[in-house]
């Protein structure tokens, strides 16, 4: 199983038909074909809902997100992942390399599930030891 980050989900949800959105949809389709389950964290869920509430079509976008997210397995934090988040956050803070609480929380859940995170946001996430990443746009994998 794999996790997908909000950037992939957002590109899949955008109604525009451009090359990056089309690529994102193909990647997600392939992930579902190759993995019976594709996971997102509760924090990705929150990021999508925040975007809907910031949009001009709040009700419409909430409905689209509700329907879209039903196909994913939603993963909640555990005591283990909260401890991992605390370690990640403290280490990044000491180095002056914070990436934001939500990304650190997402990473902690992926690490505790021993999984891969599909994201284009490699610059942020590569600062986190033990996190395995795949850049869904380029196909490059970063193992920790």
Tens of pLDDT, residues 18-58 = 999 999 999 999 999 998 899 999 999 999 999 999 999 99
Q: Is 60 exposed, middle or buried (0-12, 13-18, 19+ CB in 10 A)?
A: exposed
Cα–Cα distance measured from residue 110 to residue 81, given in angstroms and rounded to the nearest whole number: 8
Q: What is the pLDDT of residue 143?
A: 67
How does residue 140 score in pLDDT terms, banded at 50, 70 and 90? confident
Angle between helices 6-13 and 19-34 (to 10 degrees): 120
Contacts of residue 25, defined as CB under 8 A and 6 or more positions apart, other chains included, come to 11, 12
* Domain 2-142 bears CATH identifier 3.40.50.1010: yes
Burial of 139 (0-12, 13-18, 19+ CB in 10 A): exposed
pLDDT in tens, 91-103: 999 999 999 999 9
CB–CB of 118/11 below 8 Å?
no
* pTM attached to this predicted model: 0.93
Average pLDDT for the chain: 95
């Amino acid at each position: 199983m794999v996790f997908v980050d909000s950037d992939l989900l957002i590109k899949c949800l955008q109604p525009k038909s451009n090359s990056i959105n089309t690529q994102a949809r193909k990647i997600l389709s392939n992930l579902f074909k190759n993995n019976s389950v594709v996971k997102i964290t509760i924090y990705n869920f929150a990021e999508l809902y925040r975007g809907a509430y910031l949009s001009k079509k709040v009700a419409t976008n909430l409905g689209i997100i509700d329907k879209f997210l039903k196909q994913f397995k939603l993963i909640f934090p555990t005591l283990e992942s909260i401890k991992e988040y605390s370690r990640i956050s403290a280490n990044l803070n000491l180095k002056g390399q914070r990436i934001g609480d939500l990304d650190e929380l997402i990473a902690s859940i992926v690490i505790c599930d021993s999984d891969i995170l599909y994201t284009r946001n490699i610059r942020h996430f590569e600062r986190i030891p033990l996190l395995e990443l795949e850049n869904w746009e380029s196909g490059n994998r970063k193992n920790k």
